[in-house]
Chain A
Amino acid sequence: KQEVTQIPAALSVPEGENLVLNCSFTDSAIYNLQWFRQDPGKGLTSLLLIQSSQREQTSGRLNASLDKSSGRSTLYIAASQPGDSATYLCAVRHPRSGNTPLVFGKGTRLSVIA
């Protein structure tokens, strides 16, 4: 059974710092991996989607990498801002055979201090 772990569970950094969030998964036979942002009490916003054949994806100050063989992904946030404060969730999907739902980690709660 696929398990997704995110470390650290919480992180507090001063504004302007670069930071890395980690995601690991136990079964490397994934179809894709997706990073989400969740503000308190709200829904999820998709940040980046990486297909199993890709190594990384970039969007603005965000860069996500994927090392499928080792079961790891990182989300790099450059020049952090207070508006980046949120919970970041990692989720993986297995190759489609029927319906294959996303399996989520518990998230990293990020606080960026002005």
Chain B
Amino acid sequence: SAVISQKPSRDICQRGTSLTIQCQVDSQVTMMFWYRQQPGQSLTLIATANQGSEATYESGFVIDKFPISRPNLTFSTLTVSNMSPEDSSIYLCSVEGTSKGLEQYFGPGTRLTVT
């Protein structure tokens, strides 16, 4: 299994500002994933971050709004830029296990409220 930590655990931000969320994993992983969970909704993948290359964004998400860094095999950041109240969500970092089964593990999430 993988142990994932995220910072901050929650934040309240004003519209127009930006927030950077950090994700740290206790083992080296090739891919790290960033998900969003809007209130009352299920999880939606924002992007996949590979170390040493540009992140791959899902339809509806763009780099200017959600820039991602992946400086090494255990760490990634997601920035939510120019925030609006619609960005209020839980943001979750995730990795795949290294066994053949590809079990997915999630961090504790960052609860973001934009006022």
Contact = CB atoms under 8 A, between A and B. Distances in A.
Interface of A: 31-32, 34, 36, 41-46, 49, 51, 89, 91, 93, 96, 99, 101-102, 104-107
| Chain B interface residue bracket vs A | 20 to 34
Contacts of B13: none
Interface of B: 1, 4, 6, 10, 31, 33, 41-45, 48, 56, 58, 90, 92, 101-109, 111
A44 B44 CA distance: 13
8 contacts: A34-B103, A41-B10, A43-B109, A46-B103, A99-B31, A101-B58, A106-B41, A106-B42
Nearest to A4: B42
A45 B102 CA distance: 15
Contacts of B56: 99
Nearest to A90: B42
Given A105-B42, A106-B41, A43 B106 contact: yes
Given A36-B106, A96-B102, A106-B42, 14 more contacts: A34-B103, A43-B4, A43-B92, A43-B107, A46-B1, A46-B104, A46-B105, A46-B106, A51-B101, A101-B33, A101-B48, A104-B42, A104-B44, A107-B42
